[in-house]
Each structure stands twice: as C-alpha cells, then as structure tokens.
Amino acid sequence: MGSAILSGILDATIATNNNKGSPFTRIIACTKSQSSADKLASRYSGHSSTVQLDFVAGGNATTAAQADVVILGCKPYLVDEVLTEKGLCDALAGKLVVSIIAGKTIGVLIEGIAKNRSSSILEFTTVVTRAIPNVAASVRESMTVVELPETASQSQVKIIEWMFSQIGMVKVIGGDLFDCGSMLMASLATVSVAVDGILDGCVAEGMRRADASEMAAQCLLGLAKMLKDGHHPAVLRESISSPRGCTIQGLLAVEKGGVRSAFAESIIAGTGHLKRLQEK
C-alpha cells in the first residue's frame, strides 16, 4: 500500500503536470531491509517527479525527525515494537502522523506515542489521523476512508485529502464507523470470490476465461457507475429481471445459496475482528 500511495504522489508531481497543489517537496521511504530499499530505488529511478526521493533501510527515528508528515504503515501486531524504537516517538513530536494500520484507533496510537516519549518534550502535540485505502490504489481507483481528529488543522486536512485523492476518492467518516468502513474497503476481496465463481460458470459453459474476465470487468464498471449515480441495487435487479427470463433464474440460484447473507456476514465478521484487535 505504501508503494501505491508513493506512486500516486509521484505521478501527480511529474515535471509536465501542474503540481502547484502538491504539499510535498521531498519523500523519504523507510523500509525494514536494505534489499527492500534497493528494490524501490531501482523501481522509481527513472521517475520524472519533481519531488526529491530517498530510500533508507531502518532508522525510523532519524527519518521521522526530517519529516513534517509521517505515514505509519506496518502490521497491527508490530505497532508496539515500532513505537518502542529508540527516539522515534520523540521525533514524532509536533508532526502530522497518518496511520494506514487497520485495527488501531487514534487513541491507541496516541497512547503508545506518549508512553514512549521523553518527558522533556511532552509539551509538543502529535496530531494522529488514520486512513485505510483499498487494493485498487494500485490503479488509482481506491476509496480511502479517513478519520480526522479534532486537533487536525485545516492545512493538515488539506494535506491528507490531497495525498489520498491521488490514488482515488476520499471519504471522511467518524471513529465509530471506521472499523466498518475499513472492512468495506477490504470487501473487494470478498466480491472477487463472486466474480471468480461467475467466471468458472462461463468456463463451464464453454467460454474462454480471458474473454469472460474482460466482459465481467466491463459489467462491474457499469454497475459501479450506476451505483455512484444513485441507483439502488434492488431496483437494478428488478429492471433486468423479466418474466420467465434467465436473469431471475440466476438470482434465484444465488438466493438459494444464501449469498446475500454470506456477504453481509463478511462485513460483520471482519468489523468484529477489528474491534477485537483494539481490545488487545
């Protein structure tokens, strides 16, 4: 996900673009290993962005000290380990921290930063916000859900919105709905199961998978456009289900399989898992 966000920013700031709105002049990408840093450096070596780009391995504290905005991205179970790195939480003092870690609330992150900070800099406030993009960020079609704290300034909000708008759309939601929103972002995975089943059915009926995939992709694009225009899913189904038709037969088959309730349960189960993560 970090690479997708980076690519979006770099593409928005190439020399031929009107990039006056960019809040960034330099990006330091900090990875865990030197091999990862080298791979990223090789991948982006020919990019024509006007942003200065550096890749380093380790040294999170040193890197954060040089930044005004810090994106915190790691596995949820590694958060405590990352925040206990010597000097890191001190380096975050007075900075805007954007977490893309699922299952860790703003409160938990603030508590972790405060716990590992030197008493000599307690007067400096760290503004923590969180954002969850989805996998479509890689093709600039993500929907990113964002939770903003009351302490975020207008300029900080603009930075966050600009950054994530480079990989798709941005939706600000409240903390009470953030776990549900995060799971909704992950629902591309569950929907892909349905698509895979549809493709299997087409192959079983003699169609090449590549052809079926191409046509299914366009159908999904059309569905997405209609949903964005405000069409209700039930109305869409009704409009194309004619008496004794093939569409109603297909709908009856998926209803018999309990597909609707299974997809609903996928959101409920995933949201519940995120809530349990926060309790640990």
Asked if 27 and 51 count as a contact pair (C-beta separation under 8 A), the reply is yes
- CA 250 from chain center: how many Å? 33
C-alpha distance from residue 143 to each of 164, 197, 199 (Å): 9, 24, 25
The pLDDT value given to residue 132: 93
Question: Which tokens go with 63?
Answer: 């890197």
Low pLDDT (below 50) residues in the chain: none
Q: Which of 137, 152, 172 is the last residue of a domain?
A: 172
Considering the domain boundaries, does residue 102 fall inside one?
Answer: yes
Pull the structure tokens for residue 184. 């909704």
- pLDDT for the residue 212: 97
| pLDDT the model gives residue 127 | 93
Last residue of a domain, one of 172, 201, 222: 172
Q: What is the domain-level CATH number for residue 41?
A: 3.40.50.720
| Domain carrying residue 212 | 183-279
Same domain? 49 vs 77: yes
Question: Of 32, 38, 96, 36, whose CA–CA distance to 60 is shortest?
Answer: 32
- Helix/strand/coil (H, E, C) string of the chain? CHHHHHHHHHHHCECCCCCCCCCCCEEEEEECCHHHHHHHHHHCCCCCECCEEEEEECCHHHHHHCCCEEEECCCHHHHHHHHCCCCHHHHCCCCEEEECCCCCCHHHHHHHHHHCCCHHHCCCCCEEEEEECCHHHHHCCEEEEEECCCCCCHHHHHHHHHHHHCCEEEEECCHHHHHHHHHHHHHHHHHHHHHHHHHHHHHHCCCCHHHHHHHHHHHHHHHHHHHHCCCCHHHHHHHCCCCCCHHHHHHHHHHHCCHHHHHHHHHHHHHHHHHHHHHC
Beta strands 127-132 and 142-147 are antiparallel
How many residues are listed for the chain in this entry?
280
- Are 151 and 219 within one domain? no
Closest CA relative to residue 72, chosen from 86, 82, 62, 81 = 82
Which residue, among 93, 89, 69, 96, has the nearest Cα to 152 in the 3D structure? 96
> Structural domain tally of the chain?
2
C-alpha dihedral sign at 20, 26, 32, 33: positive
Among left, alpha and beta (phi > 0; psi -120 to 50; other), residue 258 is left
Compute CA distances 13 → 19, 28, 70, 260, whole Å: 5, 15, 19, 43
Within-domain flag for 28: yes
Q: Which of 149, 172, 195 is the last residue of a domain?
A: 172
pLDDT of residue 120: 62
If asked whether residues 130 and 85 sit together in one domain, one would say yes
Confirm whether 178 is domain-assigned: no
Q: 119 and 231, same structural domain?
A: no
Which of 164, 4, 201 is closest to 69 using CA atoms?
A: 164
pTM of the model: 0.84
Residue in this structure with the two tokens 């694009």, named with its chain if needed = 221
